């Protein structure tokens, strides 16, 4: 859904990508920065009861993590640094980032455990369905409601609202649990149609 917007953002990040490249950062370095900020966001979510301002800090950290996730691909593309390992490494770190952020929200008591686990499973399976389909030669980008960009946007908006209305994150996780698993079904049906 947000894939076209993501491509525009990546095009806008070209100068930043060149700056990072010029100071010696590789796409893999930038991917590591992305997971570090995702971990910091997870800690902020899990500890929000200590300081309510962490509900503002957590989505900011999550956005920075997403920015690094976009930048690693831009650096790889513009400066011809793309490697098979780099693509694999980025994908694995993205799954860890998704998981730790959702775990932070669950551990912080910001959502019901069952809905949190359903959202976690759905998020992992959205990515797995794409990887498995593309390994079989079926392109899956932009198929489905809840790709990674959409999931981050939902969490960021809900987090900011939750500073004023704490249930916002719980409702966003319920939404994610539903739409991520629907996306898996969409991708399964799309794949079946493509291979038949």
- What's the rounded Cα separation, in Å, for the pair 15 and 22? 10
Provide the whole-model pTM.
0.89
* pLDDT exceeds 90 at position 70: no
Q: What is the CATH number of the domain that holds 184?
A: 1.20.120.1760
Into how many domains does the chain fold?
1
pLDDT-derived band at 9 (thresholds 50, 70, 90) equals low
CB 97 within 8 A of CB 38: yes
- What's the rounded Cα separation, in Å, for the pair 116 and 177? 7
What residue numbers bound the domain in which 59 lies? 3-195
Q: What angle do CA 63, 49, 154 make, to 5 degrees?
A: 30
Active site residues: 94
* pLDDT exceeds 60 at position 84: yes
How many other β-carbons are positioned within 10 Å of the β-carbon of residue 13?
19
Three-state SS string over 144-188 comes to CCCCHHHHHHHHHHHHHHHCCCCHHHHHHHHHHHHHHHHHHHHHH
Position 179 scores a pLDDT of 96
What pLDDT digit, counting tens, does each position of 30-65 carry?
999 999 999 999 999 999 999 999 999 999 999 999
Percentages (nearest 5) of helix, strand, coil residues in the chain? 80, 0, 20
Residue whose tokens read 């503002």: 56
- What's the rounded Cα separation, in Å, for the pair 11 and 98? 24
Residue whose tokens read 């686990």: 117
């Amino acid at each position: 859904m947000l894939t076209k917007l993501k491509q525009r953002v990546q095009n806008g990040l070209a100068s930043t990508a060149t700056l990072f490249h010029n100071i010696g950062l590789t796409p893999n370095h930038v991917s590591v920065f992305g997971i570090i900020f995702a971990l910091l966001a997870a800690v902020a979510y899990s500890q929000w009861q200590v300081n309510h301002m962490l509900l503002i800090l957590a989505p900011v950290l999550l956005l920075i993590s997403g920015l690094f996730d976009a930048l690693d691909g831009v650096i790889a593309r513009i400066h011809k640094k793309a490697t098979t390992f780099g693509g694999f490494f980025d994908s694995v770190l993205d799954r860890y980032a998704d998981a730790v952020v959702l775990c932070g929200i669950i551990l912080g008591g910001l959502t019901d455990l069952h809905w949190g686990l359903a959202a976690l499973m759905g998020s992992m399976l959205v990515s797995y369905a794409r990887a498995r389909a593309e390994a079989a030669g079926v392109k899956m980008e932009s198929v489905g409601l809840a790709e990674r960009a959409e999931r981050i946007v939902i969490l960021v908006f809900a987090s900011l609202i939750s500073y004023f209305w704490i249930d916002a994150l719980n409702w966003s996780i319920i939404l994610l649990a539903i739409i991520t698993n629907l996306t898996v079904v969409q991708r399964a049906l799309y794949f079946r149609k493509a291979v038949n």
